[in-house]
Amino acid sequence: MGPIEFGGQGGQWLRGDGADSDIVMSCRIRLARNLRNYPFMPQIEADAAKEAADLVKSKVMGSLFNEDGQYLSVNDLDDIDRMYLIERHLISRELVNGEGERGVAFGESEITAVMINEEDHVRLQVIFSGMELDRAWGEAQRVDGILEKELNFAFSSQFGYLTACPTNVGTGMRASVMLHLPALVMTKQIEKVFQAVSKINLAVRGLYGEGTQASGDFYQISNQVTLGVSEASILDNIKRVVPRIIQYERNVREHLITENRNSLEDKVYRAYGILRNARIIDTEETMNLLSAVRLGVNSGLVEGLEVEEVNRLFVLTQPGHLQKRERRTLDPEERDIARAKFIRTRLA
């Protein structure tokens, strides 16, 4: 087993607090930055990549985290540790699949994380529970300002921040909101949301971002345009759209409770019963059942279970977390047995 100590409950973003947290799991601001005096990642040589990583690491750890954080080099991690960090939304698959010196620095609360030498030299992330985009942006601005004083970022007066991928040039910002939309999925109205947001330059992605499918009825709504727009306009666009989606989901939930309460309760309690009694259960089924239970908790149909516990189970039942907890590599069947046992214990 790798060098990471098992981190228990997961980050602050799973707490289930913040505005509209019944529907908004989390919101995130991500900023892409590059060092002016180094080639961008696709062209950089190994020695220069290590030098850049060492420079960023020293400034990040010295000015941001001090004693409250840690830096992990991807090359020092085994496959389970890498999976574990992806599941906690601290690193990306792109960072794992990269080459050369690369890593991540993050604080104890896991609110702020800095990936080093992913697609860009610096990928700063701030993530909060609930619909707290302004709060996340405020913290991202603060951290970015600290790093600006320590590192010479590549910036053009014409184009803005320069990035390895042209789609990030300008602000270098991705603002995203993670929404739990089970009622819209159940009533097959989710496609209307996709069509609406695509018309206003917003993207819909799965639980783990670009290239991933929706899991557990979670969808990330984020901006696509970064060039020729300000950070404020990006945030305003998302803040105009997301409340409408939240209200849409709430209206459908209320309709289901009023018009189809027996069917909804049956779906919720069947899911709850399976989770509390299953002996073997895979990741996909777990995510779908937890989604139904989360809907039940937030709709007042399930009592005695906190939404924070359900939120954490979405992460703690993932393969990397199960294997970290067991301190050994598990084959798929062993994972499914361990997952079922863990869920039974938590929901007992």
Give the model's confidence band at 3: pLDDT under 50 very low, under 70 low, under 90 confident, else very high.
low
CA distance 127 to 133: 9
CA distance 64 to 139: 12
Total H helices, total E strands in the chain? 12, 10
Give residue 197's pLDDT: 87
Give residue 281's pLDDT: 98
**Residue 11 confidence (pLDDT) above 70:** yes
Give me the chain's average pLDDT, please: 93
Give the model's confidence band at 10: pLDDT under 50 very low, under 70 low, under 90 confident, else very high.
confident
Query: Given the structure tokens 């996709």, which residue do they identify?
Result: 194
The sign of the CA dihedral 50, 7, 4, 344 is negative
| pLDDT tens column, 208-253 | 555 555 688 999 999 999 999 999 999 999 999 999 999 999 999 9
| pLDDT tens column, 151-168 | 999 999 999 999 999 999
Give the model's confidence band at 172: pLDDT under 50 very low, under 70 low, under 90 confident, else very high.
very high
219 vs 65, higher pLDDT = 219
CA distance 263 to 284: 22
| pLDDT tens column, 259-300 | 999 999 999 999 999 999 999 999 999 999 999 999 999 999
Per DSSP, what are the bridge partners of residue 114? 105, 124
Give the model's confidence band at 193: pLDDT under 50 very low, under 70 low, under 90 confident, else very high.
confident
Give residue 177's pLDDT: 97
Q: With contact defined as beta carbons under 8 Å apart, do 232 and 269 qualify? A: no
Beta strands in the chain (DSSP E): 24-33, 69-73, 103-107, 112-116, 122-129, 155-156, 160-161, 173-180, 202-205, 218-223
Give phi and psi for 43, each to the nearest 5: -105, -5
162 vs 10, higher pLDDT = 162
CA distance 169 to 251: 38
Burial of 16 (0-12, 13-18, 19+ CB in 10 A): buried
One DSSP character per residue, 241-307 reads: HHHHHHHHHHHHHHHHHHHSHHHHHHHHHHHHHHHHH-SS--HHHHHHHHHHHHHHHHTTSS-S--H
Burial of 3 (0-12, 13-18, 19+ CB in 10 A): exposed
CA distance 120 to 118: 5
Residues 144, 149, 151, 156, Cα dihedral to 10°:
80
Q: Report the pLDDT averaged over residues 181-187.
A: 95
Structural tokens at position 334: 């062993």
Domains and CATH numbers, the chain: 12-254 (3.30.590.10), 260-347 (no CATH)
